[in-house]
């Protein structure tokens, strides 16, 4: 009888929990056009995401902006925008950036979002169905990266002929002499080495990546959704690399612009196993949005998923605009690269050594970097030594964010300066749940920003030895 009573109580509690859960809005939204949802093969992509994440579905007819009221009401942590290639162009990416900053009143992005697309519906479905998290241990790159943060890998310089660095498991990074043409070697890092992460810079278009920047080299190209390398002599190297991976073309122009079925981004996701990637939809020159993702993802190994790192850098960019060029927060850039609002270099910007060009560069980058893949899929570097420790605790309604430098006065400096606009990124910590009306009670002099789902602490720069940085805040009670 006692056992039966316990079972009954358990069933009643489970039913009560289920009823309560049913009243909560889903934490994941799938956004799709009515035209795409009406196609059976693409509808399967939507269904896969819904089943995997217990997601809601928001449908629009003409413009993705139509779902704003529903997104505001639901306030999901994640939003996947399912789109056929012909829908996923440059303007679509910019509209999603602007849309997802309008779910509340602050200027920051209000959810983790990603565009789920593919060369065809089958390619998109593979990404939508992916569940197993990825721990990144093997890295490959066409530009310099800190291999010490990986178990093994290799990178080839795009600016210095024959320069390469390798790292074997259990060993240290070591300089080596690479081939004159690195096309075959880099293709092998994908097809034979099976890298978990691929990073690239240098000249590119929607249809090719030119491997050498300062010297003659081969290229990567695509054809009918398949990626291949072609060296300077014309030899072709097919790339079939099905293992799930992350792709960061952080310095490539136009690699994220899906201008049709023959776009490189689609080929990377189709034949090179890319499950998540970023990419500029425009010609890049300033570089804050792209290169800065390395500061969060690679230089803080294991702290962030790729999704979290991408949006931490977006938050950093918007914080930089808000701090030094607040008049640009609601501005846009036209096709000629001109701001819709006059750029003012105020005293604070001048003191930081910034110019009108910096304001324009930040604005130019803000809405032009695409994020492809399921934003809730988790890919992160294997944990390694960190330059500082950061923790977030909650007790008796008080949240405390604590930062302890681990390597002395240089704890907050970039490990690697390769690229553009590197270093100086603020510290970002995501909150485990959304909060309302945060009120700072300690650490206001550090000028933190606290939103409904993250805390941002401006980079302390050269830190005082032994100093601990702490911010404490209260929020309205959870409901």
pLDDT tens-digit readout, 74-117: 999 999 999 999 999 999 999 999 999 999 999 999 999 999 99
Q: Where are the alpha helices (DSSP H) in 325-476?
A: 347-351, 356-366
468/466 Cα distance (integer angstroms): 7
Q: Which helix (H) or strand (E) holds 65?
A: none
Q: Is residue 40 part of a domain?
A: yes
Closest C-alpha to 245, from 267, 219, 277, 221: 277
Same structural domain, 263 and 146: yes
Name every residue whose Cβ is closer than 8 Å to that of residue 170 and which is 6 or more positions away in sequence: none
Instruction: List, for residues 20-33, the tens digit of each pLDDT value.
Output: 344 567 999 999 99
Cα separations in angstroms, 211 against 258, 264, 430, 439: 20, 14, 36, 50
pLDDT band at 479 (very low <50, low <70, confident <90, very high): low
Same structural domain, 174 and 45: no
Same structural domain, 99 and 41: yes
> Tokens in use for 468?
């601990």
Number of domains in the chain: 3
Instruction: List, for residues 167-220, the tens digit of each pLDDT value.
Output: 999 999 999 999 999 999 999 999 999 999 999 999 999 999 999 999 999 999
Question: Which of 116, 142, 170 is the last residue before a domain boundary?
Answer: 116
259/280 Cα distance (integer angstroms): 12
Question: Residue 40 in 3-state DSSP?
Answer: helix
> Tokens in use for 104?
């509340």
Give the other-Cβ count within 10 Å of 221's Cβ: 19
Q: Is residue 319 part of a domain?
A: no
Q: Is residue 85 part of a domain?
A: yes
Q: Check residue 23 and give its pLDDT.
A: 54
CATH of the domain at 46: 3.40.50.280
Q: What pTM does this model have?
A: 0.94
15/29 Cα distance (integer angstroms): 25
Q: Would you tell me the crossing angle of helices 306-324 and 288-297 to the nearest 10 degrees?
A: 130
Q: Please return the burial class of 465, using the count of CB atoms within 10 Å of its CB with bins 0-12, 13-18 and 19+.
A: exposed
Closest C-alpha to 375, from 13, 28, 16, 21: 28
Q: Which helix (H) or strand (E) holds 350?
A: helix 347-351
Instruction: List, for residues 224-244, the tens digit of each pLDDT value.
Output: 999 999 999 999 999 999 999
Instruction: List, for residues 364-409, the tens digit of each pLDDT value.
Output: 999 999 999 999 999 999 999 999 999 999 998 899 999 999 999 9
> Tokens in use for 307?
């999704």
Closest C-alpha to 363, from 343, 385, 393: 343
Instruction: Quote the distance between the C-alpha of residue 377 and its chain's center.
Output: 12
Q: Is residue 179 part of a domain?
A: yes
Contact 292, 280 (CB under 8 A): no
Same structural domain, 110 and 138: no
Same structural domain, 276 and 177: yes
Same structural domain, 269 and 166: yes
Same structural domain, 155 and 256: yes
Q: Is it the case that residue 9 has pLDDT exceeding 80?
A: no
Side-chain half-sphere of 264: how many Cα atoms within 13 Å?
26
Q: Is residue 368 part of a domain?
A: no
Closest C-alpha to 261, from 217, 211, 225, 288: 225
Same structural domain, 105 and 139: no
Same structural domain, 149 and 268: yes
Domain containing 418 equals 383-474
Question: Which of 249, 284, 319 is the last residue before a domain boundary?
Answer: 284
Q: Is it the case that residue 425 has pLDDT exceeding 70?
A: yes
Q: Is residue 374 part of a domain?
A: no
Q: Is it the case that residue 149 has pLDDT exceeding 90?
A: yes
| Terminal-to-terminal C-alpha distance of the chain | 37
196/380 Cα distance (integer angstroms): 10
Same structural domain, 105 and 214: no
Side-chain half-sphere of 453: how many Cα atoms within 13 Å?
18
The DSSP line for 291-321 is: HHHHHHHTSSTTTS-HHHHHHHHHHHHHHHH
Instruction: List, for residues 272-323, the tens digit of each pLDDT value.
Output: 999 999 999 999 999 999 999 999 999 999 999 999 999 999 999 999 999 9
Query: At 422, phi and psi to the nearest 5?
Result: -85, 155
Question: Which of 63, 83, 116 is the last residue before a domain boundary?
Answer: 116
Same structural domain, 94 and 186: no
Q: Where do the DSSP E strands lie in 61-99? A: 78-82
Closest C-alpha to 31, from 1, 73, 61: 61
Cα separations in angstroms, 343 against 156, 321, 361: 39, 11, 11
Q: Is residue 370 part of a domain?
A: no
Q: Is residue 15 part of a domain?
A: no
Q: Is it the case that residue 158 has pLDDT exceeding 70?
A: yes
Same structural domain, 80 and 156: no
């Amino acid at each position: 009888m006692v056992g039966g009573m316990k079972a009954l109580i358990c069933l009643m509690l489970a039913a009560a929990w289920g009823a309560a859960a049913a009243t909560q809005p889903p934490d994941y939204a799938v956004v799709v056009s009515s035209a795409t949802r009406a196609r059976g093969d693409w509808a399967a992509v939507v269904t896969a995401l819904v089943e995997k994440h217990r997601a809601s579905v928001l449908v629009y007819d003409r413009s993705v902006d139509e779902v704003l009221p529903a997104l505001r009401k639901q306030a999901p942590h994640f939003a996947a925008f399912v789109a056929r290639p012909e829908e996923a162009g440059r303007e679509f990416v910019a509209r999603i950036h602007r849309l997802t900053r309008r779910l509340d009143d602050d200027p920051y992005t209000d959810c983790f979002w990603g565009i789920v697309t593919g060369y065809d519906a089958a390619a998109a479905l593979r990404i939508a169905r992916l569940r197993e998290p990825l721990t990144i241990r093997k890295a490959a790159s066409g530009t310099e990266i800190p291999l010490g943060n990986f178990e093994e890998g290799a990178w080839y310089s795009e600016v210095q002929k024959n320069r390469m660095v390798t790292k074997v498991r259990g060993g240290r990074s070591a300089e080596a002499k690479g081939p004159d043409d690195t096309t075959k070697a880099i293709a092998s890092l994908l097809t034979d080495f099976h890298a978990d992460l691929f990073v690239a810079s240098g000249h590119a278009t929607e249809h090719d990546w030119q491997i050498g920047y300062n010297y003659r080299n081969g290229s990567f190209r695509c054809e009918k959704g398949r990626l291949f390398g072609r060296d300077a002599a014309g030899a072709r190297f097919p790339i079939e690399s099905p293992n799930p991976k992350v792709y960061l073309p952080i310095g490539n122009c136009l690699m994220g612009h899906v201008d049709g079925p023959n776009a490189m981004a689609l080929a990377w996701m189709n034949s090179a196993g890319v499950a998540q990637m970023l990419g500029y939809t425009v010609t890049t020159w300033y570089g804050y949005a792209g290169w800065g993702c390395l500061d969060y993802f690679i230089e803080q190994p294991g702290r962030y998923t790729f999704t979290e790192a991408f949006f931490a850098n977006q938050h950093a960019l918007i914080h930089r605009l808000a701090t030094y060029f607040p008049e640009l927060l609601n501005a846009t850039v036209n096709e000629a690269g001109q701001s819709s609002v006059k750029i003012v270099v105020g005293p604070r910007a001048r003191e930081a050594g910034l110019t009108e060009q910096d304001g324009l560069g930040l604005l130019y980058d803000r809405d032009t970097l695409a994020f492809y893949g399921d934003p809730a899929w988790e890919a992160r570097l294997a944990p390694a030594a960190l330059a500082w420790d950061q923790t977030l605790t909650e007790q008796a309604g008080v949240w405390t964010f604590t930062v302890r430098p681990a390597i002395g006065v240089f704890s907050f400096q970039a490990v690697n300066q390769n690229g553009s606009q590197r270093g100086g990124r603020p510290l970002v910590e995501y909150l485990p749940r959304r909060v309302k009306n945060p009120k700072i009670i300690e650490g206001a002099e550090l000028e933190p920003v606290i939103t409904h789902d993250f805390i941002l602490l401006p980079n302390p720069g050269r830190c005082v030895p032994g100093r601990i940085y702490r911010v404490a805040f209260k929020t309205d009670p959870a409901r």
